[in-house]
C-alpha cells in the first residue's frame, strides 16, 4: 500500500495550494490538534467532549516568519489511492470517507472532515493520491468559534458496518462499534 506518511501528505497540501511555507517542519500543531487529545485549541481552550479522533491541520509558519492559517481557499487532497465509500455531515461541514484496503473483516479508510465537497465526488469515485476531494469549509458564523481547518482520521472499520453507515455516529465511538483509530502522525 502507498505511504500515508504525514510529511508526504503535508507536502501534497503545500504543493497543491502553493502555500508560502519554506519547510515542512514549519507546520504547527497545538497539542489539542493531535490524536487522543482532550484539549480544545479554540474558544475557551477548555475540554473536548470526547478524545480527538484524528489530526487537525490548520497552521503553518510562512516564509516571512508569520503564523498563517489555512483558509477556505485550501484544496484538500486524498492521502492515497482509494475509493470514496461515503459522505456525511460533521459539525462544521462535510466528511469524505475513502477506502484504501479491505480484507475479510475490515477496511482501512482515511476521513477528511469540515470540508465542502464538489458534486463530482460521490460514493464510488476512484481517487489517486493528491486528487482534490474538497475544500476547507467556512466555519465563520458557527457558534462553536472554531477556526476553519482540515480534520483527518485514519481508521479501520469492521465490514459489518455498511459503507453508508460510516458516519460520525460510529466514528465518534471508536472501539465500541468496530472502529479502530490510527495516529495520522505515524501513518
Nearest distance, CB of residue 37 and Zn ion, angstroms: 9
Which listed residue (127, 151, 154, 174) binds Zn ion by CB under 5 A? 151
Burial annotation 12-41 (CB, 10 A radius, 16+ → b, else e) = bbbeebebebeeeebbebeebbbbebeebb
Query: Taking phi first (over 0 means left), then psi (-120 to 50 degrees means alpha), and beta for anything else, what does residue 130 get?
Result: left
Nearest distance, CB of residue 113 and Zn ion, angstroms: 7
Nearest distance, CB of residue 124 and Zn ion, angstroms: 26
Residue 6, SS3 per DSSP: helix
Nearest distance, CB of residue 10 and Zn ion, angstroms: 16
Ranked by CB distance to Zn ion, the top (closest) residue is 151
Cβ closest to Zn ion, residue 40 vs residue 151:
151
Q: Are 171 and 111 in contact (CB under 8 A)?
A: yes
How many CA atoms lie within 13 Å of 143's alpha carbon, on the beta-carbon side? Answer: 0
From 19-27, 85-93, 149-157, 179-187, span contacting Zn ion (CB under 5 A): 149-157
Does residue 40 bind Zn ion (CB under 5 A)? no
Cβ closest to Zn ion, residue 125 vs residue 152:
152
| Other Cβ atoms closer than 10 A to 168 | 16
Cβ closest to Zn ion, residue 125 vs residue 136:
136
Rounded Cα–Cα distance for residues 159 and 123 (Å): 16
Q: Are 4 and 184 in contact (CB under 8 A)?
A: yes
Q: Binding-site residue total for Zn ion (CB under 5 A)?
A: 2
From 18-26, 35-43, 52-60, 161-169, span contacting Zn ion (CB under 5 A): 52-60
Residue 177, SS3 per DSSP: coil
Cβ closest to Zn ion, residue 26 vs residue 53:
53
Which listed residue (9, 21, 56, 95) binds Zn ion by CB under 5 A? 56
Binding site for Zn ion (CB under 5 A): 56, 151
Amino acid at each position: 500500500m502507498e505511504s500515508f506518511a504525514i510529511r508526504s501528505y503535508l507536502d501534497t497540501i503545500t504543493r497543491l495550494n502553493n502555500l508560502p511555507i519554506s519547510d515542512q517542519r514549519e507546520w504547527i500543531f497545538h497539542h489539542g490538534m493531535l490524536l487522543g487529545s482532550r484539549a480544545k485549541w479554540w474558544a475557551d481552550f477548555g475540554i473536548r467532549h470526547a478524545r480527538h479522533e484524528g489530526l487537525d491541520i490548520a497552521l503553518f509558519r510562512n516564509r516571512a516568519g508569520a503564523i498563517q492559517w489555512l483558509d477556505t481557499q485550501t484544496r484538500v487532497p486524498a492521502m492515497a489511492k482509494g475509493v470514496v465509500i461515503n459522505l456525511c455531515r460533521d459539525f462544521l461541514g462535510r466528511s469524505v470517507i475513502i477506502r484504501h484496503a479491505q480484507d475479510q473483516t475490515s477496511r482501512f479508510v482515511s476521513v477528511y472532515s469540515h470540508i465542502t465537497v464538489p458534486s463530482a465526488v460521490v460514493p464510488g469515485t476512484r481517487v489517486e493520491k493528491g486528487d482534490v476531494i474538497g475544500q476547507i469549509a467556512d466555519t465563520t458564523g458557527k457558534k462553536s468559534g472554531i477556526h476553519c481547518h482540515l480534520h483527518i482520521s485514519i481508521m479501520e472499520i469492521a465490514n459489518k458496518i455498511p459503507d453508508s453507515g460510516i458516519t460520525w455516529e460510529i466514528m465518534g465511538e471508536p472501539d465500541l462499534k468496530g472502529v479502530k483509530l490510527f495516529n495520522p502522525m505515524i501513518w
